[in-house]
Amino acid sequence: MNLIFLGPPGSGKGTQAKRIAAKLGLLHLSTGDVLREAVKNGTGLGKKAQKFMEAGELVPDELIIGLIEEKLKAGALNDGFILDGFPRTIPQAEALRDMFARNKKVIHRAILLDVTDDEVIRRLSGRYYCPTCNAGYNYPMQLPKKEGICDNDGTRLLRRPDDEEVVVKNRLNVYKKQTEPIVDFYRKESILAAIKDNGGGPDRITESLLAEIAKINKA
């Protein structure tokens, strides 16, 4: 099963992609996670990506497309995956389509997690993560047992620098301008599905996603 999760920053893509990938035995490939790791390790990619990420801007297409091409060549996308945070522009979506056509691969669904702007801002301003195991928390919705400390390994929780309010607003603008057009791209390819977030909480969304994915298996 080959899936793309789409949605604005803070839509819960990462959380849901992690859960669904674990449940269905798929690879979870988050370009944001790959880039943050590259920045942390000071690699060539990290050095090129850092200033864009800190400003809430997108990293240039050729860097990201190159990264996905490498994963494809290495066979990482052979046994089913969820792409989280890629593609994020029309040129990225086109490059993915062409790469996959050359390799006789298909995307089964692009699933949009549909959340309002106000909800995005509310969520991102309360978002914290563990730098050791990458677990996510949210004040006041998903609190760790001990304030500011990861439940899994006791590490002090941090905020992503790009979750600060000015940067969040820019990321949302960037999403609307550069990423939202790919919703139509996948609608035209007839592989789009949308899950509306009505505030029922993350477990409800996971159920809706699993139901949507079950339809693919039956098709």
Catalytic residue list contains 188 = no
- Strand 136-138 relative to strand 127-129: parallel, antiparallel, unpaired? antiparallel
Catalytic residue list contains 171 = yes
From CA 172, how far away is CA 57, in angstroms rounded? 10
Count of other CB atoms within 10 angstroms of residue 110: 22
Which region among 19-27, 55-63, 97-105, 189-197 touches ligand AMP (by CB under 6 A)?
Answer: 55-63
Q: Which of 13, 18, 109, 123 is catalytic?
A: 13
Catalytic residue list contains 156 = no
User: Which residues ranging from 93 to 152 are in contact with ligand AMP (CB under 6 A)?
Assistant: none
**Residues touching ligand AMP: how many (CB under 6 A)?**
17
Catalytic residue list contains 13 = yes
Min CB(53)–ligand AMP separation in Å: 4
Binding mask 63-82 for ligand AMP (x = CB under 6 A): -x------------------
Q: Select the residue interacting with ligand AMP from 7, 8, 12, 32 (CB under 6 A).
A: 32
In order of 58, 160, 185, the CA distances from 125 in angstroms are 20, 10, 30
Q: Which is nearer to ligand AMP, 89 or 208 (CB)?
A: 89
Q: Select the residue interacting with ligand AMP from 59, 110, 111, 135 (CB under 6 A).
A: 59
E strands present in the chain: 2-6, 27-30, 81-84, 109-114, 127-129, 136-138, 192-196
Cis omega (within 30 of 0) for bond into 9: no
Min CB(218)–ligand AMP separation in Å: 30
- Strand 81-84 relative to strand 27-30: parallel, antiparallel, unpaired? parallel
Min CB(56)–ligand AMP separation in Å: 6
Is residue 137 within 8 A of residue 129, CB to CB? The reply is yes
From CA 159, how far away is CA 141, in angstroms rounded? 16
Min CB(216)–ligand AMP separation in Å: 23
- Interface with ligand AMP includes 8 (CB under 6 A)? no
**Where in the sequence numbering do the catalytic residues fall?**
13, 88, 127, 160, 171
